[in-house]
Amino acid sequence: MHTQTIRSVETSATAANRVLRTMARLWRAWRNRRDVAKLLNLDDYMLRDIGLTRGDVTGALSSPRNHDPSEILIGKRNERLRNRAISRLGF
């Protein structure tokens, strides 16, 4: 009986931990979505200076609400940097 109680507590703790991780991920996505939206206040030159375009920002913001748009922007920026490096090398 004691073993079943321990397993039950462990299962409940695991479920609670999963819920907390999901809530934290959603909170982070919401907060980052709010911050990414502020990038639309920058002019195109400033966006280009940080390796982004206005289309990148609006595209990231059009992703589902539970996705983190900052991850999309990081991917776009890194892809653009890789492509520049490759073109400089003449490939």
- Domain borders along the chain are 2-89
pLDDT of residue 2: 65
Q: What is the pLDDT of residue 76?
A: 94
List per-block mean pLDDT (blocks of 10 residues) for the chain, which spans 91 residues: 66 86 94 97 96 96 94 94 91 74
* b/e map 18-50, b = 16+ CB within 10 Å: eeeeeeeeeeebeebbeebeebeeeeeeebeee
